[in-house]
Amino acid sequence: MLLGGVLILSRGVAMSGKRYPEEFKIQAVQQVTKQGHTLSSVAERLGVSYKSLCDWVKKYDKPEKQRKQEDDQSAEIRQLRADLKRVTMERDVLKEAAVYFAGESKKSTRS
């Protein structure tokens, strides 16, 4: 149902996978934090899940500097995990090569 230009969904209808612009999320959070509306009323009015709105409040109800720092830390963690995976694979290849060449070395000393 469309009410005042805002899509209103009945309870129980999931909007799984829908992406919302960051500005939309920030405005939704401000309705809760600055205007004093309840999470459930804002979620219902905007047609978003209660859980999504809770997640947005946790993320956006912080100073921008802190949000940026957390985003930077998340990016660094992703990069470190990728590096660890690559280095682990390299180590495994080197272990296999060491075993192979150790076997070759024993064969050549027997001849």
pLDDT tens per residue, range 36-87: 999 999 999 999 999 999 999 988 887 777 878 888 999 999 999 999 999 9
Q: What is the 3-state secondary structure (H, E, C) of 32-68?
A: HHCCCCCHHHHHHHHCCCHHHHHHHHHHHCCCHHHHH
Whether the CB-CB separation of 6 and 45 falls below 8 Å is answered with yes
φ, ψ (nearest 5 deg) of residue 87: -65, -35
Whether the CB-CB separation of 44 and 55 falls below 8 Å is answered with no
**Residue 3: pLDDT band with limits 50, 70, 90:** very low
Model pTM score = 0.45
- Reported as type and span, the H/E element at residue 79 is helix 64-110
Question: What would the mean pLDDT of 16-29 be, rounded to a whole number?
Answer: 87
